Amino acid sequence: MPKAYWVTTYRAIKDADKVAAYAKLAGPALTAAGGRFLARGAPSAVYELGLMERTVLIEFETVEQAVAAHDSPAYQAALAALDDGADRDMRIVAGA
């Protein structure tokens, strides 16, 4: 089975305190669910229609594991803390 990659980009941060509260809960929730953070932060370079926005890349063993991590009570609590603090684009992609 291919690994899975959780990719999140932050289109806009509206409330830095809510984003910080989210991060405090989300990191431990996702690592406890088997996620491994591969990259976090602003891009080093962008090309074509790329945007200079915060990006997070997390690896999971399977798509099912990544979906279960998202749907877990611990991660849902992190999302509740984030509330409307950011506009994000989040997706789970199966590895090649």
Q: Where are the domains of the chain?
A: 4-94
Q: For residue 79, what pLDDT is reported?
A: 98
- Is 83 in contact with 19 (CB distance < 8 Å)? no
- Convert the pLDDT of each residue in 20-75 to its tens digit: 999 999 999 999 999 999 999 999 999 999 999 999 999 999 999 999 999 999 99
Residue type, 75: Y
Is CATH 3.40.50.150 the classification given to domain 4-94? no
- In this prediction, residue 1 carries a pLDDT of 84
What does pTM read for this prediction?
Answer: 0.93
Comparing 1 with 74, the larger pLDDT belongs to 74
DSSP secondary structure letters along 21-64: HHHHHHHHHHHHTT-EEEEEES-S---TT-----EEEEEESSHH
- Averaged pLDDT, 69-91: 98
